[in-house]
Amino acid sequence: MERFENAVEVLKNNLEDAILEFRIPKPRKAYILLKPERHRDAISLLLKHIENAELSTITGTDLGNEIELNYHMACGGTVTLKNRVPREKPVIRTITDILPGANLYEREVFDLLGVIFDGHPNLKRLMLPENWRKGEYPLRRDWEPHANQEIGSTSEETSQTESAGELDEAGSIINVVVGPQHPVLHEPERFSFKVDGETVVDVEMRLGYVHRGIEKAAERMMFFQDVFLVERICGICNAAHTTCFCQAVEDIGNIETPPRALYLRTIIHELNRVHSHLLLLGVAGHLLGFEALFQHVWRDREPIMDIIERITGNRLMSGFNTIGGVRRDLGPNIVEKARKNVEEVRKRAKFYNKVFEEDPTLRLRTEGVGILSKSDALKLCVTGPVARGSGIDLDVRKDDPYAAYGEIPFNVVSYKECDTWARLMVRAEEVLESLDIIDYALSHIPSGRLRVRVQRKQPEGEAVSRVEAPRGELIYYVKSDGTAYPYRVKVRSPTLANLVAFPEIIKGSYIADIPAVIGSFDPCFSCTDRMVFLDTQNGKSWHWSLEEVNNSKNRIGDLNGS
């Protein structure tokens, strides 16, 4: 908490002349509008004076005749530095020289909104395909998807795949392409590794294969419908996404969530976390060739899914949170069953902790592999277990408490070894911590209402909200213009933050270390790419806008049609 106050002090004292607007509408959330091109000074100040300050994301919003760029800095709370550029000439200086971790965020804003970052080392497309037409920026307010839109020839895309497996001029460097289809990836991405024998020399990543257009789609649906949309960004961390979004909207609308709802949100959030970490430990076993561990861990997360099914009605997609509270209640027999299952899982989790600590073959594969030093981790702005495995004590639940975390005692797990083993151990121990939190919350739930009645329209305003998703820090920025539909919804999921560090780690390692390192990052690419809804079939490109999809002639009711 003191870090936030320090940050505000530092900015007020040193940048008096540059601040145009300064608001702190809610505790630990500051919004500062700066004069043009002064964002670099502000960010350098914060990095110098505040310990463990990181950039969460960069949001671009189309305000009509200006494009507003928000730099969200995480330092105890969230300090949002705003900067506006005119729409006809959207140029701004980059910050990648002071903070390399901003690389991917600036590319995303360039790709989707057309803002040019002066001095960026590699300003290429991030999410949209290479043959997207120039000048079309989907996130601008005047861009509408229209039917039978030509997106250009597909030959440029295919020419990229031909370079797989060619020998370099030096003769010994082979280009190995991993993805979009590969057994090690659960979702499609493309990593292009240059290998020399068994050592990786360089890697190039191409994201955007699961880009679905969620941020644009969220502007077409009402606030309470958007909760279901953001829930489906990621299956495993769905409670985190809905919690974050609902918190942001509740901040805008000044809605007071009842305490019982906060505790229930926390319980489902932690159940999600246990499930996700157990899933990852099993997947790590599978990637390392330890099939028996994989099957055993996946068997042992069934009791958790049973509890989630009893509480929310589905084993995975909880559909539990809504704006103003939660939708269902916890009966007394559910609490009993939940406690029993938690006890069962706790015994097994302790055993798996022992396995990961002691098993010699696992330690052989993960110790000393994929080192990410603490200073590198801070510069690249990684979050979550990846940061905590490198000794950085960052956890949103402790730095910026939300839901019921202010009242529940727990420890933040971090390891100093900075390697793959440390990242896996962080998750294994966090399972035990989460089980303790669930127990405490189940015994101390206050009684009361479940939800408050919320109107469809929300007042004008904006809000930033951060939660600790299982993979790291998840941040949402929601802006409302007084109607029932949001003006802008921006999501930055943790895997995008951590992916920046991946090329740095993998250079100089063996090919055999690639699955171990990817596994320790726990990538969830569905969370990472979230835009575009283009379909190309048979060379002819067509797609439907939302209205056309809903058009009755495309429904199943008319069986003579498609």
Partner 1 sequence: MALDLTFIVRTLIFPGFTFLLVLVLFFDWFERKVAARFQNRMGPTYTGPLGILQPIADYIKLFSKEDITPKQTNKLLFVAAPILAFSLFVFALFYIPIDGSNVVLNSSFEGDLILVLLLISLANFGIFLSGWASLNPYSGIGATRILTQFLGYDIPLIILAIGPAFLAKSLSLVNITASQTLPFALLIPWSCVLFIIVLQAELEKDPFDIPHAETEIVGGYETEYSGRKLAFIKLSEDFQFLIGAALVTELFLGGSHGPVLFGMPELWHITWFIVKTLGVAFFLEYIGNVAARMRIDQVVHGNWKLLIPLSLLSLALTVIIEPLLRSVIG
Partner 2 sequence: MAKLRLPSMIKDVGSCIFKKPFTREYPAVKVEVPEGYRGRHTFDPEKCISCGLCERDCPSKAIELVEVSGKRMPTFYLDRCIFCYQCVESCPREAIKLSTNFEMATTDKKDLLITPEEFISQKKFNPDEEKKHVA
The end-to-end CA distance of the chain, in Å, is 58
How far apart are CB 561 and partner 1 at their closest, in Å?
34
Nearer to partner 1, 52 or 175 (CB): 175
Least CB distance to partner 1 at residue 358 (A): 13
Q: Residue 191 or residue 476: which is nearer to partner 1 going by CB? A: 191
Query: Judged by CB, which is closer to partner 2: 194, or 328?
Result: 328
Residue with the two structure tokens 């979702």: 187
**DSSP calls for 476-527:** EEEEE-SSSSEEEEEEE-HHHHHHTHHHHHHTTSBGGGHHHHHHHH---HHH
Cα→Cα distances 225→246, 484, 518, Å:
11, 10, 34
Q: Residue from 164, 254, 354, 446 that binds partner 1 (CB under 8 A)?
A: 164
In the list 71, 290, 402, 525, the residue contacting partner 1 (rule: CB under 8 A) is 290
**Residue 172 neighbours by CB under 8 Å, 6+ apart:** 196, 197
Cβ atoms of 200 and 511 within 8 Å: the answer is: yes
Element (H, E) at 268: helix 259-287
Stretch that binds partner 1, among 111-119, 139-147, 508-516, 540-548 (CB under 8 A): 508-516
Of 13, 89, 134, 559, the one binding partner 2 (CB under 8 A) is: 559
H helical segments located in 359-419:
360-366, 374-379, 384-388, 396-399
Among the listed residues 35, 327, 339, 374, the single contact to partner 2 using CB under 8 A:
327
Instruction: Report d(CA 501, CA 386) in Å as an integer.
Output: 10
What are the residue ranges of helices labelled H in 130-254?
155-161, 214-218, 223-231, 238-253
Separation in Å, CA 457 to CA 214, 222, 326: 21, 9, 19
Among residues 496, 351, 369, 353, which one has the least CA distance to residue 421? 369
With CB under 8 A as the contact rule, the residue among 93, 296, 398, 507 that binds partner 1 is 296
By CB under 8 A, tell whether 183 contacts partner 2. Answer: no
Does 292 bind partner 2 (CB under 8 A)? Our answer is yes
324 binds partner 1 (CB under 8 A): no
**Cβ–Cβ under 8 Å, residues 454 and 324:** yes
Nearest approach, Cβ of residue 506 and partner 2 (Å): 23
Q: Is 171 in the site for partner 1 (CB under 8 A)?
A: no
By CB under 8 A, residue 285 contacts partner 1? yes
Smallest separation (angstroms) from partner 2 to the CB of 228? 5
Q: Minimum Å distance from CB 382 to partner 2?
A: 28
Is residue 349 within 8 A of residue 435, CB to CB? The reply is: yes
Q: By CB under 8 A, what part of segment 341-360 binds partner 1? A: 359
Q: How far apart are the C-alpha atoms of 40 and 311, rounded to whole Å?
A: 48
> Which of residues 66, 130, 187, 359 is near partner 2 by CB under 8 A?
359
Determine if 364 is a binding residue for partner 1 (CB under 8 A): yes
Give the number of C-alpha atoms closer than 13 A to the C-alpha of residue 302, restricted to the C-beta side.
5
Q: Does 555 bind partner 2 (CB under 8 A)?
A: yes
Lookup: tokens for 43: 């960010």
Q: State the binding partner of 502 from partner 2, partner 1, none, CB within 5 to 8 A by kind.
A: none
Q: Is 428 in the site for partner 1 (CB under 8 A)?
A: no
Nearer to partner 1 (CB atom), residue 97 or residue 198: 198
Burial of residue 133 (CB within 10 Å: 0-12, 13-18, 19+) is exposed
User: Which of residues 19, 98, 174, 279 is near partner 1 by CB under 8 A?
Assistant: 174
Q: Which does 164 bind (CB under 5 to 8 A by kind): partner 1, partner 2, none?
A: partner 1
Angstrom distance (rounded) from CA 229 to CA 145: 19
Provide the binding-site residues for partner 1, judged by CB under 8 A.
164-165, 174-176, 182-184, 198, 285-293, 295-296, 299, 359, 361-362, 364-365, 510-515
Provide the binding-site residues for partner 2, judged by CB under 8 A.
221, 224-225, 228-229, 232, 292-293, 296, 299, 302, 309-310, 313-314, 317, 319, 327-328, 351, 354-355, 358-361, 363-364, 550, 552, 555-557, 559
